[in-house]
Amino acid sequence: MTEATHQCGAVELRLETREIGHFHRDRLLDLPFPKRVRDELVAAGLARPHHALPESGWVSLFIETEPDVDASIALLRRSHDLIAAQLERRAA
């Protein structure tokens, strides 16, 4: 994984060429997921639809409490694992 500056000034985490998610300065985490996963996360209350693109596969999570930190790590891990599996399939 690498860290870079996101186009909106956030801190972006990447796996190879793919973005895993990015942190805004106001403690907002945005992550990309397939829409079916986004729907699952939102239905379970684990994330909200993306603050600016609610119809996309992206989700948002405001990090306000210690449990939110754990939730953000779990979401980043899930995003990482999905992207890693996609990259592995493409390489095969």
pTM of this structure: 0.89
pLDDT at 4: 65
Over residues 14-73, the pLDDT tens digits come to 999 899 999 998 899 999 999 999 999 999 999 999 999 999 999 999 999 999 999 999
Rounded CA separation 28/90 (Å) = 31
CB proximity list for 54: less than 8 A, separation 6 or greater: none
pLDDT at 9: 72
pLDDT at 6: 67
Number of domains in the chain: 1
Is residue 79 predicted with pLDDT exceeding 70? yes
pLDDT at 55: 94
List the structure tokens of 32.
Answer: 């990309």
Domain carrying residue 82:
2-91
CB proximity list for 60: less than 8 A, separation 6 or greater: 28, 29, 30, 31, 47, 48, 49, 50, 51
